[in-house]
């Protein structure tokens, strides 16, 4: 059994990223992440029936999902490699491609600008964020899209990229299992406060390094791109990342605000109540949400993700030599 076929492969990763850039995230019934969600729902139902609906149940959920999905994906790769290495390569490219989502991230963000009217913009924003959109003006809609682009650059692309570069196919599958757990059960509600604790904390852990790498990469990219500020990206990211709830999302959001030289967030309402009025970004910069701001954010995110891809491929190639 040749386990090296599961190791990080620069050619497979490059092919997967190119596919995502050309086609976007595939939409079909048997999408691996969708199947992970179905598996999670089934295992959760069984665990709750047996009384494992607290911290222990959440830990068992993680062990069951990770063992199943990492085991099945790896076994299938090994089996296909035994039939022919090309079959394994095609399978892994498609699997990795299904785990990253850069094109769709930008498409959903830019849909706000393409909406044409405020009602359409609010509808597009509602696909990205959970806040109330009924009172949002055009600028607030664009700001929300900018924040979503910068935050999701980490868990939608750079984090899965990092875990593939470190651990190959098992690494990216494990990351997506954890990310799926966080999105489905990682809530601070009476139902999930304890049961979802494991998934939420693991998601924090697995995004810890990628979030901070994204801050540094955005800073480097902002120094190179005309009209962006690397100095502000570095400074705002360092000083204001903690203003955003959670240990990770603030790094990319604050860095992006500094890079595009716009203040983000502002008044946010949820369930009819004002939940925050915090602004992130340099105090001397104008409020974000102006015409063209979303496109500038999209450029920053895309270039940052492409640089991350190049560095990941380089990291795989250098040790091989």
* Residue 154: closest CA among 51, 315, 17, 301: 301
What's residue 319's pLDDT?
64
- The gap from C-alpha 235 to its chain's centroid, in whole angstroms, comes to 23
Which residues are bridge partners to 265 per DSSP? Answer: 279
What's residue 22's pLDDT?
94
Q: In this structure, what DSSP letter does residue 268 have?
A: E
Q: In this structure, what DSSP letter does residue 287 have?
A: B
What's residue 271's pLDDT?
74
Q: Is 24 left (phi over 0), alpha (psi -120 to 50) or beta?
A: left
8 A C-beta contact, residue 287 and residue 263:
yes
CA count, 13 A, side-chain hemisphere, 280:
33
What's residue 225's pLDDT?
97
What's residue 249's pLDDT?
93
3-state secondary structure of 276: strand
Per-block mean pLDDT, blocks of 10 residues, the chain (321 long): 90 97 89 95 96 95 97 97 96 96 91 86 86 86 94 96 96 97 92 95 97 98 97 97 93 97 89 83 92 94 97 85 50
* Residue 234: closest CA among 220, 249, 250: 220
């Amino acid at each position: 059994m040749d386990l090296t076929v599961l190791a990080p492969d620069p050619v497979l990763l490059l092919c997967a990223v190119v596919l995502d850039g050309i086609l976007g995230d595939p939409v079909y019934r048997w999408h691996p992440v969708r199947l992970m969600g179905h598996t999670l729902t089934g295992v959760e139902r069984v665990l709750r029936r047996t009384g494992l609906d607290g911290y222990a149940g959440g830990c068992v959920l993680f062990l069951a999902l990770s063992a199943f999905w990492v085991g099945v994906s790896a076994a299938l790769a090994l089996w296909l490699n035994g039939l022919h290495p090309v079959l394994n390569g095609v399978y892994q490219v498609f699997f990795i491609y299904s785990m990253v989502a850069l094109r769709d991230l930008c498409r959903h963000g830019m849909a706000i600008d393409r909406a044409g009217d405020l009602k359409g913009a609010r509808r597009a924003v509602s696909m990205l964020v959970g806040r109330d959109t009924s009172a949002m003006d055009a600028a607030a809609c664009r700001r929300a899209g900018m924040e979503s682009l910068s935050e999701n650059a980490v868990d939608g692309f750079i984090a899965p990229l990092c875990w593939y570069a470190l651990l190959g196919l098992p690494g990216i599958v494990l990351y997506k299992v954890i990310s799926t757990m966080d999105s489905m059960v990682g809530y601070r509600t009476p139902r999930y406060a304890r049961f979802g604790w494991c998934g939420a904390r693991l998601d924090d852990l697995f995004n810890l390094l990628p979030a901070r790498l994204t801050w540094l990469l955005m800073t480097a990219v902002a120094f190179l791109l005309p009209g962006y500020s690397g100095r502000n990206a570095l400074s705002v990211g360092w000083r204001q990342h903690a203003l955003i709830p959670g240990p990770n999302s603030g790094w990319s959001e604050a860095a992006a605000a500094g890079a595009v030289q716009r203040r983000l967030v502002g008044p946010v309402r949820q369930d009819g109540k004002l939940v925050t009025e915090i602004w992130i970004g340099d105090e001397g910069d104008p409020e974000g949400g102006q015409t063209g701001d979303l496109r500038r954010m999209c450029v920053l995110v895309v270039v940052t993700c492409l640089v991350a891809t190049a560095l990941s491929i380089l990291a795989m190639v250098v040790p091989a030599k």
